[in-house]
Structure 1
Amino acid sequence: MTIHKEGYTSIALGVLFVFILNAIVHYYASESKILTWTTYILSAFILITLLQFFRNPKRTISPNEEHILCPADGKVVVIEETDETEYFQDRRLQISIFMSPINVHINRNPVSGIVKYFKYHPGKYLMAWNPKSSTLNERTTTVVESNGTEVLFRQIAGAMARRIVWYVNEGQSVEQGKEFGFIKFGSRVDVFLPIGSKVDVKLGDVVKGGITVLGELKHEV
């Protein structure tokens, strides 16, 4: 397991903060054992939290053009038909994955294909499980055409997440299971599929990005 590149700056700032904090405590309050050990524990907690959050576990991806792979680690919180109003302007099957601060926050392409649409939306920072977060929060929308069928997936910032990172652009060819982005400190990823697509997960399932199969794609005519 390695550390993801998006974590380098945050971890460096964390190390700097811990160094300064410990230096201040040792200089001004070295005789207080309680304060000293409290500082040690807090420092260890900060560094361990940052390291686990930005971890990048090695995964073996098994591409399959009929499958929709899970785009993120987390828990399935929504499986429902809904109106997708930004791109499709029709009814779609929505599957949402909630990513807690303890999950790996790498986002992976659920299908292979060509990026037909991409847009970044600045916005609010409602709790990621709030239904309105899909349209009001900071987010990105990506549409990939896979064998004639378009799949939309959306990164949504949460109350803690204040930075969404993406690595895709319109016209780009993407590979199933490869990284398309990263969201820092808690968030959600929505996937919109054609109505009638087979779903292989249920509400409450714990899933892994690039590993768990969300379902099978129904090709549109």
Structure 2
Amino acid sequence: MYFRFHKEISAALIILFLLVIFFYFISKTLFVVFLIILTFTCYFFRDPERVVPLGDDILTSPADGLITNISEIKIGNKKYTKVSVFLSVFNVHIQRIPISGEITKVDYFEGKFINATLDKASEENERLKLTIKSKNNLIHVTQIAGLIARRIICDVKPKDKINQGDRYGIIKFGSRVDIEFPENFDLLVSVGQQCIGGETIIAQENKNSKSKNKRNYKKI
């Protein structure tokens, strides 16, 4: 067993560690305060392994968190289902690729920082949207900044080949991730359900149904 953290922790970890050592000799109160901050920072940036179910016919959750909204939308002339996953400061904040394929577009939108649980946040907040071309479909995944979250990190770019369950980004601190998929997928989750990024199956393509027991799984 080992502990893994997102690379974005590096600078903060060094600074906080030095402050903890410094205040150990200066002030016990500040030592405890910065030790708590250091502990929470490590907890926030944790990056646990996940056992990812693999398949061109399924979409796995792009993030840990609570499903706060499910709605039907239109993208062009096509009907899509949008599932919104809200990440509190206590959730793992690493985002993962929901289906294997190729990144065709990365669109960044400047915006506000209203409460990410509100549906209008997907149109008004700062956000970054990926378009993924899988074997049979176009899937959209959007990282959305929130009331506290003020920085979106995305590590992929157009033409990148990506695999289901791959880590691709992080949002600091508390946020939301939307996944949008066409109507040929059957929804397998509901509002109020907790999701595990890379493990929870959000939807399954209805014309290519397979038994869950026959799936391959990969620890990532």
- TM bin, normalised by shorter chain, reads 0.7 to 0.9
Which residue number in structure 1 is paired with residue 59 of structure 2? 68
Which residue number in structure 2 is paired with residue 208 of structure 1? 196
Measured at CA, do residues 160 and 22 of structure 1 come closer, stay the same or move farther in structure 2, by a change above 3 Å?
A: farther
Higher Rg? 1
Shift of 1:102: 0.8
Q: Normalising by the residue count of structure 2, what TM-score does the alignment of the two structures yield?
A: 0.85
Which residue number in structure 2 is paired with residue 2 of structure 1? 4
Q: Normalising by the residue count of structure 1, what TM-score does the alignment of the two structures yield?
A: 0.85
Cα RMSD for the two superposed structures: 1.9
Alignment partner for residue 83 of structure 2, among 95, 112, 134? Answer: 95
Give the paired residue count: 205
Alignment partner for residue 44 of structure 2, among 53, 61, 81? Answer: 53
Q: Look up the SS of the partner of 1:58 in the other structure.
A: coil
Cα separation, 2, equivalents of 1:161 and 1:16: 25
Cα separation, 1, equivalents of 2:77 and 2:26: 57
Alignment partner of 1:157 is 2:145: yes
Measured at CA, do residues 218 and 143 of structure 1 come closer, stay the same or move farther in structure 2, by a change above 3 Å?
A: farther
Where structure 1 has 5 or more consecutive residues not aligned to the other structure, the ranges are 26-35
Shift of 1:162: 1.3
Residue type at the aligned position of 2:94 = I
Shift of 1:22: 5.0
Measured at CA, do residues 136 and 8 of structure 1 come closer, stay the same or move farther in structure 2, by a change above 3 Å?
A: same
The answer as to whether partners of 1:53 and 1:103 remain within 8 angstroms in 2 is: yes
Percent of aligned pairs with the same amino acid: 33
Aligned pairs for 1:1-221 within 5 A: 1-19=3-21, 21=23, 25=27, 36=28, 38-84=29-75, 88=76, 90-217=78-205
Cα separation, 2, equivalents of 1:212 and 1:148: 21
Deviations along 1:28-85, one digit per CA (max 9) or x if unpaired, are xxxxxxxx4x43432232111101001111222231111100000111111111244x
Cα separation, 1, equivalents of 2:202 and 2:109: 26
